[in-house]
């Protein structure tokens, strides 16, 4: 087992890998050193164009954005009836609706292989919502989102498998994070992922053959995901910039083995009554920048 060092963040004492990125840089990396890390690769121009700043937060000053130098993910986008979705959304958020009576739910497994707060895995379950403050038709908004690669979501669950990821997510963003066991494996042939529920029981498992991947020139297809949530009673938006490098997308994918158990994510999927998988997005190599929350004045 690798050695750890104890750090303090937001009044919490947390063990992080000794000599890891957080231990060495405290969220303010030297990018020339990062570029020499063989697990990252030399092309980090995406990050050079997003300079770090020392900003005020709920727990004091911190450097932002949070950089994720090498990531992998698989996302499944489901159809679900509008009724259950609306019951989970606080007013005034509304689900986006691609078809009459139905909305969209996104389930995403992430593996952050190299990042400012050290490697960890995460699972997100979110309802895709209409852009706050926009009154255009739902289909118009959806088509615009697809064209601009910009989406908005309300996160129902965001479990992680390291304590520093949990503490930062709760204290800085007030996101619904908890600590649990998560595995994510992606080789040249298949993807296997899973998350444990309470007491170590199985919550969700996912197994799917790896489709043909496409190499994407860096910074040519940057996408933006916006998580909408309340922080200290006020609506905020947390923006993630994604730079895909090796990816695949499948419409109405087959051979997706998703098994539900007894855990909280399975319970939420059942309550949302998700059905058809409309789309599967796979990133075998990507870069990300997680920004600090900004207040949504038009929702206050």
pLDDT digits (tens, 9 = 90+) for 56-110: 999 889 999 999 999 999 999 999 999 999 999 999 999 999 889 999 999 999 9
HEC states along the chain?
Answer: CCCEEEEEECCEEEEEECCCHHHHHCCCCCHHHHHCCCCCCCCCHHHHCCCCEEEEECCEEEEECEEEEEEEEEEEEEEEEHHHHHHHCCCCCCECCCECCEEEEEEEEEEEEEECCCCEEEEEEEEEECCCCCCCCHHHHHHHHHHHCEEEEEEEECCECCHHHHHHHHHHHCCCCCECCEEEEECCCEEEEEEECHHHCEEEEEEEECCCCEECCCCCCCEEEEEEEEECCEEEEEEEEEEEEEEEEEECCCCCEEEECCCHHHHHHHHHCCCCEEEEEEEEEEEEEECCCEECHHHC
Residue 233 pLDDT more than 80? yes
Give pLDDT, residue 132.
81
- CATH number for the domain spanning 169: value is 2.40.400.10
Interval 128-187: pLDDT, tens: 999 887 665 566 667 666 656 789 999 999 999 999 999 999 999 999 999 999 999 999
Domain count, the chain: 1
For residue 169, what are the domain limits?
Answer: 4-299
Q: Is the pLDDT of residue 30 over 50?
A: yes
Residues 160-172: tens digit of each pLDDT: 999 999 999 999 9
- The average confidence (pLDDT) of the chain is 93
């Amino acid at each position: 087992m690798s050695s750890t060092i104890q750090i303090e963040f937001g009044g919490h004492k947390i063990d992080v890998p000794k000599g890891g990125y957080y231990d060495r840089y405290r969220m303010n990396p030297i990018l020339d050193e990062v570029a020499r890390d063989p697990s990252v690769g030399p092309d980090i121009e995406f990050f050079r164009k997003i300079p770090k700043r020392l900003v005020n937060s709920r727990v004091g000053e911190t450097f932002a954005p949070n950089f994720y130098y090498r990531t992998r993910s698989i996302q499944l986008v489901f159809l679900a009836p509008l009724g259950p979705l609306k019951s989970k959304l606080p007013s005034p958020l509304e689900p986006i609706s691609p078809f009459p009576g139905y909305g969209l739910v996104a389930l995403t497994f992430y593996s952050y292989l190299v990042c400012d707060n050290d490697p960890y895995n995460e699972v997100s379950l979110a309802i895709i919502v209409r852009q706050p403050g926009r009154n255009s038709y739902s289909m118009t908004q959806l088509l615009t989102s697809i064209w601009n690669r910009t989406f908005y979501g309300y996160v129902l669950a965001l479990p992680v498998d390291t304590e520093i990821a949990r503490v930062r997510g709760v204290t800085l963003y007030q996101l619904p994070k908890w600590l649990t066991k998560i595995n994510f494996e992606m080789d040249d042939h298949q993807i296997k992922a899973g998350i444990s529920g309470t007491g170590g029981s199985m919550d969700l498992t996912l197994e799917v053959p790896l489709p043909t991947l496409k190499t994407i020139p860096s910074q040519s297809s940057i996408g933006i995901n916006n998580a909408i949530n309340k922080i200290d009673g006020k609506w905020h938006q947390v923006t993630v910039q994604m730079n895909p490098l090796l990816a695949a997308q499948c419409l109405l994918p087959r051979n997706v083995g998703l098994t539900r158990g007894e855990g909280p994510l399975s319970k939420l999927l059942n309550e949302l009554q998700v059905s058809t998988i409309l789309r599967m997005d796979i990133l075998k190599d990507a870069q990300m920048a997680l920004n600090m929350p900004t207040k949504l004045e038009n929702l206050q």
